């Protein structure tokens, strides 16, 4: 029995389908642009942002009425709608698992009292004044939720301000909102494990299906850019002054991006050409909460457990273009004896999409396997990491039958997933 | 798999295997946590920098693993963490966002992720095995239990700390951790 990839979708600044995203990056387009957005940052910044008008018009035609959804909810609902729209599957069955992977969910709703109400348009009504939440005694939804066998009843967003319904800041609540929209009846699983969340969701789904607990899984990985996130990364001095340069000698930080990626997985027997998730693992460095291990220990262990001796044709690195991350990855890849395997980073095309990143980049890697074209590392010119690994600068035509996808994140987290094409 | 020990911290009390080991009525969390830290005997100055959620998880793990030498000497790569929470890092998010318009604080921002508590416990006790942070609507989660069983059945994990660590936006707190051992 294999875990087969049945369908995928990507909603990013480059487009709203997997195909469109793949063809755009094949043609050398990037979603990262210099943006002057005073609502996000006092200074102009390189960001990958989804165009508001395109998002709203696609949402109206594909999802339906905007019931006061947040930007995060919109990109998530849109991606899942595209993924599921023509699939003849029973989403309500007890065999179907839904997983949400995100780092910050609806954090855009949390605005300091001083700026609440100055936000753009409809958002103003939706913004939580922190003091309101705190004075109100916080989030207590016992009144709004009649508990049922299926768990809590979730409030919809129509005409509800966040200060009335602050549980919208809770990720389990957002997951339930998505689940209700599409009619999933099993309890959603929510993973919030920093930048490895998307890969962790793939590993979790693989393990749960292999154990016979479900027959299929729908995973959504999503995060939206907000001032909360931008200001935090700025405070860490981890944002690049230009387009990011993964593995390059002059790299000076990352670009933030937003987007959603979704995937439909099913148990079945692999036919020729089918893509399957083989296995994966998550390991902690147990070293430092905001910096990677000097020896790449956690990532090395994750690679070991994901490969179990196999050799991938391509490594899709996390490659954020921060000095420490890329160097640590070169150490872990080298320690794993994979120095000659082609390595790329897709962050120059999408930016760092946080809770979506692992899944989004895995989906692009799946397209690489189907097309027999590896994507080069945009922004990489001059070699700049301590260990000699095979970082690919330009797109290359080659048969790619297996990809090792990597991710690392705050909290010392690391993950690796092996994806294979059946030949 | 078997449960070696069960530890909970809630309502100003610490319970080990259901028996009360400490009760400090009337203290708010920060002073309760400080007292617990001293009681635990941990000499770990980084504790004072942590968010309340991380302090809670750290203390629960401290009492959970106290004097369990078999865990100390086990291979770090086979020690796993499967945690759940309800409010993620929302309490820390609110603290950070108060600094957002002035001088955003990196010391607060680092705690605005649900899984940092796993990282703190991993560092303290050298847990380099499997790791996962789930967001649940409460401490009881069948899905969490199922995943734990699946992970333990895989056979690469010898010890696992599994449970729930939640510090919500009102300062309401609960930690319930079990130490699970492969049979």
Give the pLDDT of chain B (183 residues) as one tens digit per residue. 999 999 999 999 999 999 999 999 989 999 999 999 999 999 999 999 999 999 999 999 999 999 999 999 999 999 999 999 999 999 999 999 989 988 999 999 999 999 999 999 999 999 999 999 999 999 999 999 999 999 999 999 999 999 999 999 888 999 999 999 998
SS (H, E, C) B163-176: EEEEECCCCCEEEE
Strands A256-257 and A45-48 turn out to be: parallel
**Which token pair is A24?**
């755009």
Q: How close B174 gets to chain A, by Cα (Å)? A: 16
CB contact under 8 A, B119 and A410: yes
Q: Tokens 């401490």 correspond to what residue?
A: B139
Q: Which of the residues A232, A407, A410, A414 would you substitute to probe the B interface, choosing the one with the greatest number of B C-beta atoms within 10 Å? A: A232
Contacts of B30 (CB under 8 A, 6+ apart): B52
Q: Is B47 in CB contact (< 8 Å) with chain A? A: no
Q: Which of the residues B65, B134, B156 would you substitute to probe the A interface, choosing the one with the greatest number of A C-beta atoms within 10 Å? A: B134
List pLDDT tens digits, range B50-89. 999 999 999 999 999 999 999 999 999 999 999 999 999 9
Q: Across the strands, what pairs with A267?
A: A3
DSSP state of B115: T
Q: Is B78 in CB contact (< 8 Å) with chain A? A: no
**Phi and psi angles of residue A334, each rounded to the nearest 5 degrees, phi first:** -65, -45
The residue among A169, A142, A170, A145 whose CA lies nearest residue A155 is A145
Q: Which residues in chain A are closer than 8 Å to B169, comparing Cβ atoms? A: 133-134, 138-139, 166, 169
Closest CB from A111, A137, A194 relative to B170: A137
**Which token pair is A225?**
């850019």
CB contact under 8 A, A283 and B97: no
The secondary structure of A146-195 as a DSSP string is --BTTBPPPP--TT--TTT-GGGGSHHHHHHHHHHHHT--SPPEEE--GG
Contacts of A24 (CB under 8 A, 6+ apart): A14, A15
In B, minimum Cα distance to A293 occurs at B123
Q: C-alpha distances in angstroms, A146 versus A143, A314, B85?
A: 8, 50, 21
Q: How close A175 gets to chain B, by Cα (Å)? A: 10
pLDDT reported for residue A112: 58
**Phi and psi angles of residue B138, each rounded to the nearest 5 degrees, phi first:** 180, 175
Q: Which residues in chain B are closer than 8 Å to A192, comparing Cβ atoms? A: 88, 113-115, 133-135
In A, minimum Cα distance to B151 occurs at A207
Could you give the CA distance from residue B128 to residue B78 in angstroms, rounded to a whole number?
7
pLDDT reported for residue A138: 37
Q: Across the strands, what pairs with A239?
A: A254
Contacts of A57 (CB under 8 A, 6+ apart): none
Q: How close A269 gets to chain B, by Cα (Å)? A: 22
In B, minimum Cα distance to A170 occurs at B87
Q: How close B51 gets to chain A, by Cα (Å)? A: 12
Determine whether A352 is an active site residue.
yes
Could you give the CA distance from residue A137 to residue A48 in angstroms, rounded to a whole number?
37
Could you give the CA distance from residue A183 to residue B166 in angstroms, rounded to a whole number?
28
Closest CB from B104, B120, B131 relative to A282: B131
Strands A216-223 and A259-268 turn out to be: antiparallel
Helix (H) or strand (E) holding A96: strand A96-101
Q: Angle, nearest 10°, between helix axes A52-62 and A71-84? A: 50
Segments of chain A scoring below 70 in pLDDT? 111-166
**From A195, A244, A283, A398, active-site residue:** A195
Contacts of B23 (CB under 8 A, 6+ apart): B12, B13, B14
Q: Which of the residues B131, B141, B150 would you substitute to probe the A interface, choosing the one with the greatest number of A C-beta atoms within 10 Å? A: B131
CB contact under 8 A, A112 and B137: no
Q: How close B65 gets to chain A, by Cα (Å)? A: 16
Q: Which of the residues B169, B170, B172, B173 would you substitute to probe the A interface, choosing the one with the greatest number of A C-beta atoms within 10 Å? A: B169
Q: Which residues in chain B are closer than 8 Å to A137, comparing Cβ atoms? A: 170
**What is the number of CB-based contacts under 8 A between chain A and chain B?**
174
In B, minimum Cα distance to A414 occurs at B131
Secondary structure of residue A28 in the 3-state scheme: coil
List pLDDT tens digits, range A233-253. 999 999 999 999 999 999 999
CB contact under 8 A, A305 and B150: no
Determine whether A244 is an active site residue.
no
């Amino acid at each position: 029995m294999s875990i087969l990839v049945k369908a995928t979708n990507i909603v990013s600044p480059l487009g709203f389908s997997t195909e469109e995203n793949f063809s755009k990056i094949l043609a050398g387009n990037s979603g990262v642009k210099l943006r002057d957005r005073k609502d996000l940052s006092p200074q102009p910044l390189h960001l990958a942002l989804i165009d508001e008008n395109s998002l709203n018009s696609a949402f109206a035609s594909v999802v339906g009425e905007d019931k006061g959804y947040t930007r995060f909810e919109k990109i998530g609902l849109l991606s899942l709608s595209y993924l599921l729209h023509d699939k003849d599957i029973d989403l309500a069955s007890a065999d179907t698992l839904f997983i949400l992977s995100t780092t910050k969910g609806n954090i855009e709703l949390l605005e300091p009292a001083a700026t609440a109400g100055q936000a753009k348009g409809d958002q103003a009504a939706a913004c939580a004044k922190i003091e309101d939440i705190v004075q109100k005694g916080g989030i207590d939804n016992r009144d709004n939720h009649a508990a049922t066998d299926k768990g809590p009843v979730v409030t919809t967003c129509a005409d509800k301000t966040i200060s009335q319904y602050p549980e919208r800041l809770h990720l389990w609540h957002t997951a339930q909102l998505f689940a209700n929209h599409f009619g999933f009846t099993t309890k959603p699983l929510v993973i919030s494990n920093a930048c490895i969340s998307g890969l962790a969701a793939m590993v979790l789904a693989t393990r749960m299906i292999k154990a016979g607990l479900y027959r299929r899984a729908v995973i959504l990985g999503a995060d939206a850019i907000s001032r909360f996130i931008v200001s935090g990364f700025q405070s860490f001095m981890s944002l690049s002054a230009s387009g990011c340069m993964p593995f390059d000698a002059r790299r000076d930080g990352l670009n933030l991006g937003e987007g959603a990626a979704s995937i439909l997985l099913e148990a079945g027997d692999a036919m020729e050409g089918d893509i399957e998730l083989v296995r994966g693992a998550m390991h902690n460095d147990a070293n430092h909460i905001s910096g990677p291990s000097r020896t790449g220990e956690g990532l090395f262990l994750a690679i070991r457990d994901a490969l179990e001796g196999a050799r991938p044709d391509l490594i899709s690195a996390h490659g954020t273009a921060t000095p420490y991350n890329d160097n640590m990855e070169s150490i872990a890849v080298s320690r794993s004896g994979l120095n000659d395997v082609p390595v790329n980073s897709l962050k120059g095309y999408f930016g760092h999409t946080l809770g979506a990143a692992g899944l989004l980049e895995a989906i692009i890697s799946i397209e690489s396997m189907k097309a027999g074209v590896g994507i080069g590392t945009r922004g990489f010119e001059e070699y700049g990491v301590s260990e000699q690994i095979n970082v690919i600068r330009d797109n290359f035509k080659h048969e790619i039958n297996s990809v090792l996808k990597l991710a690392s994140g705050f909290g010392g987290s690391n993950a690796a997933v092996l994806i294979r094409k059946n030949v | 798999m078997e449960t070696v020990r069960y530890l909970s911290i809630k309502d100003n009390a610490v319970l080990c295997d259901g028996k009360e080991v400490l009760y400090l009525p009337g203290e708010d969390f920060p002073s309760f946590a400080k007292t617990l830290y001293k009681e635990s005997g941990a000499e770990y100055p980084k504790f004072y920098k942590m968010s309340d959620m991380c302090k809670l998880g750290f203390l629960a793990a401290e009492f959970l693993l106290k004097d369990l030498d078999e865990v100390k000497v086990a291979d770090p790569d086979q020690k796993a963490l499967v945690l759940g929470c309800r409010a993620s890092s929302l309490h820390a998010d609110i603290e950070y966002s108060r600094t957002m318009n002035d001088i955003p604080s990196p010391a607060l921002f680092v705690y605005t992720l649900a899984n940092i508590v796993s990282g703190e416990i991993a560092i303290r006790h050298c847990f380099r095995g499997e790791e996962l942070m789930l967001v649940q609507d409460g401490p009881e989660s069948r899905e969490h239990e199922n995943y734990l069983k699946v992970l333990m059945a895989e056979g690469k994990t010898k010890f696992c700390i599994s449970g729930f660590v939640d510090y919500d936006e009102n300062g309401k707190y609960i930690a319930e951790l079990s130490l699970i051992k492969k049979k």
